[in-house]
Amino acid sequence: MPRQNVDEIRINRILGFLNSRIDFSPEIGIILGTGLGPLANSIHAELEIPYADIPLFPKSTVQGHSGKLIFGELSGRKVMAFSGRFHYYEGYTMQDMTISVRIMKALGVQMMIVSNAAGGVNPTYTAGQIVIIRDHINMFPDNPLRGVNADTFGVRFPDMLHAYDKDLIESTEAVAAELAISVKRGVYLGLQGPNLETPAEYAFYHQVGADLVGMSTIPEVIVAKHAEIPVLAFSIVSNMCYPIELIKETSIEDVIAVVNQASQKLIQLVEGLLARR
């Protein structure tokens, strides 16, 4: 038999566990990927739950992802924040990678914020640039909506015209102008990883219209769109990958160092946005 695209039994068990621990109705869901990890320190937490304690929930294995679920308040808004995400290259399925979004939907989240570190293939970018994702190019080898559709979560063929919420993008740009923080809009291209790309691949991705290249975010955005959750997504440019002569060998330590320098500005943007909405 074809598989289901949503494991409702698994989700209901996770929800039962969470509801037994806290009486909380989050408005905002945040996935604290690379770049937003330190935002966890700004949340006035009511409860923090390690992923390892949540039944049937994946475990984050990537350096810099702490692996815990936080319920609390940020800029006067009730938030749930997943500190650490899951990637295809870790060996997880698309359903594993996006289960956090399904949990957000089930708990009534009205908006999702997500971040990542990405290579820059737009020659006008520099390392450390904050980019608001306006669209994406999906080159993952699987899709989180593959399988028998769960109609209670969303329609069979969700339209992706407005996957990234225009009003949220414009509001964020207004906050950035007030705070004198440089932001750009860009197109994010998603790949499975974990290896970085070759110079020829970077050149190809530039030619097909990408501004950024990374290994996350798109599956989560697809599921959020399926669930009709408005999305705001950020990249921090961790290294320049185009033109080819700018490419340097890059390690995860290099990525984290660049992102950490820019993360405080990104945090200010998120806090400012939530405070005005």
pLDDT of residue 62: 64
Distances (CA, A) of 59 to 82, 83, 95, 162: 11, 11, 13, 31
pLDDT for residue 64? 52
What is the Cα–Cα distance from 122 to 202, expressed in whole angstroms? Answer: 10
| Residue at 2 is within a domain | no
Residue 150 in 3-state DSSP? coil
CA distance linking residue 195 with residue 215, whole number of Å: 10
Query: Is position 28 within any domain?
Result: yes
Task: Assess contact for 233 and 244: CB atoms under 8 A.
Answer: no
CA gap 121, 190 in Å, rounded: 13
Kindly state the average pLDDT of the residues 72-100.
94
The pLDDT tens digits for 188-226 are 999 999 999 999 999 999 999 999 999 999 999 999 999
- What is the DSSP annotation of 53-99? GSTT-----STT---EEEEEEETTEEEEEEES---GGGT--HHHHHH
How would residue 4 be classed by pLDDT, with cut points 50, 70 and 90? Answer: confident
Q: Residue 183: CA atoms inside 13 Å, Cβ hemisphere, count?
A: 28
56-to-13, 59, 171, 200, 260 alpha-carbon distances in Å = 8, 9, 37, 40, 31
Distances (CA, A) of 251 to 207, 213, 256, 258, 274: 25, 15, 9, 11, 33
| Residues 6 or more apart whose Cβ sits within 8 Å of residue 234 | 35, 36, 113, 114, 115, 116, 130, 131, 132, 133, 266, 269
For 196, the domain range is: 8-276
- The verdict on residue 26 lying in a domain is yes
Is 60 a residue whose pLDDT tops 80?
A: no
Question: Residue 1 falls within a domain, yes or no?
Answer: no
Check which CATH number belongs to the domain holding 240 and give it: 3.40.50.1580
Mean pLDDT confidence for 53-74? 83
- The least confident of 204-208, 234-238, 248-252, 272-276 is 248-252
Q: 139-153, 174-188, 256-270: which has the minimum mean pLDDT?
A: 256-270
pLDDT > 80? residue 35: no
Q: Quick one: what percent of the chain has pLDDT higher than 70?
A: 97
Per-residue tokens: 129: 């640039």
Mean pLDDT of 40-54: 92
Q: What's the confidence (pLDDT) of residue 84? A: 87
3 in a domain, yes or no?
no
Number of domains in the chain: 1
**H or E stretch covering 228:** none
pLDDT band with cut points at 50, 70 and 90 for residue 44: very high
Q: Please report whether residue 206 resides in a domain.
A: yes
CA angle 32, 33, 36 (to 5 degrees): 55
Q: Residue 174 falls within a domain, yes or no? A: yes
Average of per-residue pLDDT values in the chain:
92
Residue 174 in this model has a pLDDT that exceeds 70: yes
